[in-house]
Each structure stands twice: as C-alpha cells, then as structure tokens.
C-alpha cells in the first residue's frame, strides 16, 4: 500500500477544521469537510449531472429577486467541522469574487443533484446538517429515466427538521423562497432522455 502525501494528514488530533479547506491547494477540486473528515469527489461526473447543475443554476439565477444570487458548487461553512459543497446555493450575500464559502445565515436554498457517489450523504447526512444549520429550503434532484425529479423540503421551525413540500416532475413551481417556475424537462436535451 502506498503512503499518503503529507497534505492528506490532518494538522491536529481533532481532525480538519472548515478554514483548513482554504489552505489545501493540493486537494481535489470538489473536496468537502464532513464531521472533521475530508471527503473527495474522485469519480468522474456524469454529463446528466453536470448539465442539470448548470442549467438549474442558470434558471434560479434568472428567477432570484434583487439582492439574491444563485451559484454552483460553492461550500457552506456550517460550523467548525462541516463545510459541504452543494451543487447549487441560493444566498442573500453580496457577490464577492474572492468568496470561497457561504455562511448558513445567508443561504435561502441548497440543491443537491444526486450522483451514485453522493446519494447517501445527500439523502441522510446533509439533509440533517443543513436543517440543523437553519437553511430554510432544501431540494434533492434525482434522475428518473433521464428526466430530473425534484424533492422539495422546507424547514419546520418547530422541529428544526425538514418537512416534505412536494415532488415535482415536468415543471417545478414554488412560491418560496421566492416565486420560481422551472421547466425541469428542459434541463436535459430531449435526445438524452430514456426512451428517446
């Protein structure tokens, strides 16, 4: 078994902290921090995933009100030991070209587009962590025979957990966190759908 490079060893006995990610230029591009452990996205991303993330980010960016922005693949510093990287973040923070993360208080919506490598974390670990951080809206996008299906969750203030708010196929229309209508089928080329 080969030895790990020095940069992969945590700088302290407690593991990694959220700020450490800004000082790891050797780490793979989509490195997350979950419970003080580095999580690497090492498998290649499917074209379906990449297109859905890009087109969904663009659709949300066109829908957001003034003072709100949508951005793909930006980390959220949930706390000292957790800094996940959702596929899309919608936030109230001002644009900063040097930004590397968002604070949970600025985040209105987090979107995770499932891939085989991340599905378990997105459905279990991240849903709990985003709710505990107080992020009001969470969407999970799944591939259903080549078409995106969006599972929408809203934070229940009384319980501090997410409550299901709908499953959307074809078109997603929501009044919160801002009025938005998205042609879900249009997020992928018709030639790439199952049965075509």
Q: Report all structural domains of the chain as residue ranges with CATH numbers, in order of start.
A: 47-192 (3.90.1570.10)
Q: What is the mean pLDDT of residues 72-97?
A: 96
Q: What is the pTM of this model?
A: 0.91
Q: What is the mean pLDDT of residues 146-163?
A: 97
Statement: residue 42 has pLDDT above 80: no
Neighbour-count burial for 127-162, b at 16+ CB within 10 Å, e otherwise: bebbbebebbbbbbbbbeebbbbbbbbbbeeeeeeb
Distances (CA, A) of 111 to 52, 91, 187: 11, 12, 14
Residue 194 confidence (pLDDT) = 57
Q: What is the mean pLDDT of residues 62-72?
A: 97
Statement: residue 160 has pLDDT above 60: yes
Residue 90 confidence (pLDDT) = 98
Statement: residue 191 has pLDDT above 80: no
């Amino acid at each position: 078994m080969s030895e790990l490079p020095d940069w992969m060893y945590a700088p302290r006995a407690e593991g990694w902290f959220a700020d450490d990610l800004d000082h790891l230029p050797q780490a793979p591009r989509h490195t997350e921090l979950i419970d003080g452990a580095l999580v690497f996205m090492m498998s290649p991303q499917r074209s379906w995933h990449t297109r859905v993330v890009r087109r969904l980010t663009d659709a949300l960016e066109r829908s957001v009100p003034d003072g709100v922005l949508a951005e793909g693949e930006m980390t959220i510093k949930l706390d000292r030991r957790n800094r996940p990287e959702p596929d899309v973040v919608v936030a109230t923070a001002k644009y900063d070209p040097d930004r590397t993360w968002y604070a949970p208080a600025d985040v209105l919506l987090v979107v995770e587009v499932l891939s085989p490598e991340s599905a378990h974390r997105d459905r279990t670990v991240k849903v709990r962590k985003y709710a505990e951080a107080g992020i009001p809206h969470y969407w999970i996008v799944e591939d259903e025979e080549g078409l995106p299906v969006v599972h929408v969750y809203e934070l229940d203030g009384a319980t501090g957990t997410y409550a299901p708010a709908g499953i959307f196929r074809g078109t997603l229309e929501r009044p919160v966190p801002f009025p938005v209508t998205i042609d879900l089928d249009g997020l992928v080329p018709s030639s790439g759908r199952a049965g075509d």
